[in-house]
Structure 1
Amino acid sequence: QAHSFAQKAQALDDSHPDVLMLLAGIHLYERKYEQAIAEGQEALALGPNNAENHAIMAHILRFSGRFEEAIAMIQRAMRLQPSYPSWYLGEVAMSYYYLGRHEEAVRQAEQFRNLADSRGEEYLLYWYHSMLAMNYIRMGRHQEAREAAAEVLRGFPEYSLEWDRQFSVYKDPAHLERQH
C-alpha cells in the first residue's frame, strides 16, 4: 500500500526529491536494492542539500552492504544538519561494526546514547545496547556483552533472533547473522 501512495505522489510531482527517496526506502524494504540505490541517487541529485535524504540513503547503503559509502553519506547528512537526529550516529556505529572497526563503533554508539538521552529518546536505547553487545563480543569483552544484551531485553522484551530475521532487510544474510 505504501508503494501505491508513493506512486500517486510521484504522479503529482515526479521530480520532488522527497518522493523519490520515499520510493527508494520502499524499494529497500521490498529488497530491491539496486532500484533503491538508483532512486536514492536520483533524489540526491535533485536535492543535494537535503540532510534527511542523505541519511535515508546511508540507511539504504548500509543494508545493501556498502558500509564505507554509508558512513560517508551519513557524515554528509550530519554536516548539512548540525543538529541531526540521534539515529544518524547509530547508522555510523552499525557501519563501523560491519567494517570490523569495533572501537570506533563503540565510540559512535556512546555518542548516540548521549544524544538520545539528552533528547528523551529512551525508545532508541535498546538499539544502543544491541550495538554494544555486538561489538563487545567481537572485542572479547564477554561480560560487558552479556550485560548489554540483558539491557536490550529489558528495553525490548519482544526481541529475539527470530524477530530480527523476520524484519531485517540486509541484502547479504551473513550480515544479519553476524549480529548474533
Structure 2
Amino acid sequence: MEISPSCTLCQRTTESSGRSAPYPIPNLIQPGSSGTGQQIGLIEKPRGEMSRPRRGGYNLRGVLAWSDKQWNEVTRFVRLTVTEKLDLEKPITKQKSGDIDDVRQVVLGRFPFLINYSNFWVIDDLVRSRLQYEKKRLQRDKNARMLAELRAEAVRQARRAAFEAVESAFSARS
C-alpha cells in the first residue's frame, strides 16, 4: 500500500489490531537528497553490529534511549508481527524481501516515528534480533523433544531387557 507524499492525514485500519491510525502512513521509499543514498535529517545507523558492544558494535536499547514504555510497546509489536508474517526458522537475509517489506510497513503504520531512522535500520535490527531468538528457541525445543524421545526409548529398552531377563530366569528353572 503506497501513500502519496501529499497525504497529510490518512485513516487506515491495521490488519492485526483492527484499530484506526489517524496519522500519515509512511511510504516505504525514503526520499534521498540525491542519488547517493544520503537522506536529510534521518538518524543514521551506528557503526558496528547490534548486540556486539565489546567488538565495536552497539547496544540497540542504549543507542535509542527510548523510555521503557516505548521500548516495550515497539518490541512487543515487532515480536508479534515477526511471528505472524515471517518464517521463524530463517534469518532475515533468507526471508522474502516482500515479507520484510510487509513487516516494515505494518510496524511503520503502528509507530510512524520510526521513519526518522534511515533505511529502516531500527526495524531491521529488531526483526533480526527476534528471528535470531526464535531460531534458537525452536532449536532448543527440538533438542528437548529429541532428548525426551531418546529417554523414553531408553526406558522402553531397559524394561524390555529386564522382562527378557526375568523370562529367561523362569524358563531356565523349568
Shared fold per TM-score greater than 0.5: no
TM (norm. structure 2) is: 0.24
Higher helix share: 1
Structure with more relative contact order (C-alpha pairs < 8 Å, separation 6 or more): 2
